[in-house]
Amino acid sequence: MGVVIYTCSKLKEAMADDALQILVKNFREYKETGETKGIFGRDASYIRPSSAEFAKLQHVHIRDQKVKASTWNNLRTASFYKVSNSAVVYVKGLRNNNKYLLLAVLNLNAHEMANNINFMCDLAEIAERFREQF
């Protein structure tokens, strides 16, 4: 079974349909192939607050306008070193690792939002419900 991408209602409200479709397409290809396409960088778990860690919230950095394309796309630079202040927040299914829910796109404020306890707890709650289902 291939990778299936879901989007939460908050993300649908926050993004234009065409931009959301492009994000879903690129994220699906990234998870299917591991190919970052010059878009995605470091992919990591959140470890705080504890509810985010428990809900297995993840984020993958995305190149934003403050990061030079030449730096980001350098083939010798491992994804681990490709960091920015923008990220896609997601969670994968508990029983089905090929099902993902995209929760938020944090554009130029990813680190600030990651430190916002209320925001992260809200995302963790949505993530837990998704993981219970999948």
Can you tell me the mean pLDDT for 39-67? 92
Instruction: Identify the pLDDT of residue 93.
Output: 97
Share the mean pLDDT of the chain.
91
Closest C-alpha to 71, from 26, 99, 38, 46: 38
Report the pLDDT averaged over residues 6-22.
94
- pLDDT of 86 above 90: yes
CA distances for 58 relative to 18, 22, 55, 66, 114, angstroms: 24, 20, 9, 22, 11
Tally of domains in the chain? 1
pLDDT of 23: 96
pTM: 0.92
Residue 75: pLDDT band with limits 50, 70, 90 = low
- Lowest pLDDT segment from 7-21, 57-71, 102-116: 57-71
